[in-house]
Structure 1
Amino acid sequence: MQIEIIKLQVLKLISFFVFLLIILVPMKTVLYLFCEFVLCVNTYTSPLSISAGKAIPKRIHQVFFFETSSTLPNEFTKSQQTCQKHHSSYMYTLWNKTMINDLIEKEYPEFKQIYDSYDHWVKRVDAGRYLVLHHYGGWYIDIDIVCKRSVDELSAEARAKNASVVVYKTKPVGFTNAVIGISRQHQYLNDVIVALRHSKRWYFIPYLSTMFTTGPTFLLGRYLNYPYKDEFHIINNHERYFHHLHGSAWHSLDGDIIMYIFNNSPRKLTFIVCACTVIIVILYSKRRNKNKFSAFQRNV
């Protein structure tokens, strides 16, 4: 039931933009999205190591790339300290750009080309956290998140369910990648990392390109295609543990507009957009077939 609800949310998001995708994005990208989020048949072979361990290591990872500042801003220092305070028994690492690059060169050299090719720093930060968590396991927590209490409780809940991945949902749809708890060399992260090669596409506007290439919606797609969903502990009370100071601080105007539409659009508008989408798909298909027939006649 939960998976069906998630799929409906994904379809709602896609319905607002699929007509743009059909007109402005190659059909193979539209096909990729359909296979990823509707049919859920995108599977890839992974060359990465897989560990059978299910315990989430007591490690805290945070990333700051100093893209807009040469030092950690004061407000981030304060949020960083809350995470260190509540996790004094955990190994703590603040990853910077150089450290991520070194990890890729030593442990994931086959991924360096696609990592360097990302056009936005937030995509490299997203990909970097997946690589760090795959290699070490533990908890990734965004640098602008205030920790209210230890994640020990969440790790215990996961163990009780025999789960090895801890996530929570985000808006407009998907699992947030601001907080992830996961065991080392987990198969799900194998799938995530390998799929990054296939998800790197242009989705008409920057916000969608980030969300579907490396962000929360991309993670959700990998979850929908993952066969062992019982390994996930999806928490519903994340406010008890975390407070996000600047949720989605990388958003531009396009992201703000999408969030507004998604959160405020009535059902009728959604239905109208879906109906228009179907009509456009039919017209586009007819136009393609007509062009193919005309080309055939010219060649006869």
Structure 2
Amino acid sequence: MASSHVRLRRLILGLVFIAIVFSLVSRVAVPVNRIFGAHAGNALTQEQVRAAAEAAASRGHRRKRPVPRILHQVFHNWHQPGNETLPPDWQAARQTCLDLHPTWEHKLWTELASREFIRSEYPYFLDTYDGFKFPVQRIDALRYFLMRHFGGIYMDLDNGCRANLDPLLHYPAWVTDGGQGTLSNNIIGAEPEHPFWILMTDSLGPWARDFLLPYITISYASGQWYETEMWQIYHARKPPTEPDLLRVMMDMRPSGAPWVFFTAGRGGTWDNWDNQVLGWMGNHLFRLMLYIVASAGLVAGVWYLVVVGQRRRYRRLANGPPLSP
């Protein structure tokens, strides 16, 4: 009877342990899957975006153009505050966009102009803006508020233009997608006051936390992980009658679709020691999870064999013949 009670107690403890582990894994796995799993929205290659515009033009169809002809770029000189001269490679990349869009409004947001914009238009957010632990988080937040307030297209300075961006102005809100891992926020577009960018900006304050590691803090509190999480939440909450938003593909892998509108140059100005490691983890999430599960199973199996083997040995000794002097 006593042994059956012991086995029952062990079974209950084992089930409780499994339930706790399952609960913890679920709390981590659900947001991780939202960020690194399959993304909501409609994915189009840049060639498909251009082809849609050309097809509409050939039919004489006048498509709505909700996105204004404004190109936003941001330059915060962290190494030489007050020096607003762009590095030559970034100036060259920017010039490609200036040359291809002579009638557009081009806005280059310096550090002082950026803070003044937040102070005058969104004063409730100024303390959070000033309080970001890493300067790049202010650039992340700024681009979202620019999309909400002005609309237009935002582009990082290490990106340039291959072709006129007018075909992208027909989609009321869009982000870019590298085809692996998270969505990208290096190039984004919007009409003013689109609900997605309202969600993005309204959620920044509650998410502005320190996640210990620099890369995680930057990515999850304001950067690409944050953007991807909000993207998934927006699509989960929106009414079924509202159309899905656009993901413009920017896959840099050799197998990716050709880039029609954009070029890519030197970036990574905010890299920290954990960037490469955690970036790899994000891009290889499911392989990493498989390794973790396999390793945990191996450890649990070895532990079980050792513990059970010891208990059986002790039981044999306890039940064996008495020792003779």
* TM-score between the two structures when normalised by the length of structure 2: 0.64
Select the residue among 147, 150, 154 that pairs with 1:133.
Answer: 147
Alignment of 1:71-86 (within 5 A): 71-86=85-100
Alignment of 1:1-300 (within 5 A): 55-69=66-80, 70=83, 71-156=85-170, 158=171, 164-170=172-178, 173-226=181-234, 227-228=237-238, 230-236=243-249, 239-263=259-283, 267=287, 269-274=288-293
SS in 1 for 2:210: coil
| 8 Å Cα contact 2:68/2:169 also seen in 1 | no
CA gap of 1:148–1:54, structure 2 versus 1, over 3 A, is closer
SS in 2 for 1:225: helix
**CA distance in 2: counterparts of 1:54 and 1:153, whole angstroms:** 9
| 8 Å Cα contact 1:60/1:140 also seen in 2 | yes
TM-superposed deviation, 1:153: 1.7
**CA distance in 1: counterparts of 2:155 and 2:268, whole angstroms:** 14
Q: Deviations over 1:240-263 (max 9, x none)?
A: 211221243322221112233455
Q: Which runs of 5+ in 2 are unaligned?
A: 1-20, 36-63, 252-258, 300-325
TM-superposed deviation, 1:172: 5.6
Q: Deviations over 1:233-292 (max 9, x none)?
A: 11225722112212433222211122334556883x431324668999xxxxxxxxxxxx
What amino acid does structure 1 have at the position aligned with 2:277?
I
How many residues matched? 234
**CA distance in 2: counterparts of 1:117 and 1:277, whole angstroms:** 39
**CA distance in 1: counterparts of 2:246 and 2:266, whole angstroms:** 25
Identity %: 24
What amino acid does structure 2 have at the position aligned with 1:249?
T
What amino acid does structure 1 have at the position aligned with 2:268?
S
| 8 Å Cα contact 1:168/1:175 also seen in 2 | yes
**CA distance in 1: counterparts of 2:233 and 2:34, whole angstroms:** 9
What amino acid does structure 2 have at the position aligned with 1:214?
S
**CA distance in 2: counterparts of 1:102 and 1:278, whole angstroms:** 55
CA gap of 1:250–1:188, structure 2 versus 1, over 3 A, is same
TM-superposed deviation, 1:111: 0.4
Q: Which runs of 5+ in 1 are unaligned?
A: 1-18, 23-29, 41-52, 159-163, 281-300
**CA distance in 2: counterparts of 1:262 and 1:219, whole angstroms:** 14
What amino acid does structure 2 have at the position aligned with 1:123?
Q
**CA distance in 2: counterparts of 1:101 and 1:64, whole angstroms:** 12
| 8 Å Cα contact 1:56/1:183 also seen in 2 | yes
**CA distance in 2: counterparts of 1:243 and 1:135, whole angstroms:** 26
SS in 2 for 1:253: coil
Q: Deviations over 1:173-221 (max 9, x none)?
A: 2221110010001111111111111211222311111110111110111
**CA distance in 2: counterparts of 1:96 and 1:120, whole angstroms:** 17
What amino acid does structure 1 have at the position aligned with 2:245?
F
**CA distance in 2: counterparts of 1:225 and 1:174, whole angstroms:** 14
SS in 2 for 1:250: coil
| 8 Å Cα contact 2:74/2:156 also seen in 1 | yes
| 8 Å Cα contact 1:86/1:147 also seen in 2 | yes
What amino acid does structure 2 have at the position aligned with 1:224?
Q
What amino acid does structure 2 have at the position aligned with 1:232?
L
SS in 2 for 1:178: strand
| 8 Å Cα contact 1:168/1:236 also seen in 2 | yes
CA gap of 1:147–1:223, structure 2 versus 1, over 3 A, is same
Give the greater-gyration-radius structure (CA): 2
* TM-score between the two structures when normalised by the length of structure 1: 0.69
**CA distance in 2: counterparts of 1:172 and 1:231, whole angstroms:** 20
Deviates more, 1:69-78 or 1:138-147: 69-78
**CA distance in 2: counterparts of 1:215 and 1:167, whole angstroms:** 13
Aligned alpha-carbon RMSD (Å):
3.1
**CA distance in 2: counterparts of 1:257 and 1:38, whole angstroms:** 19
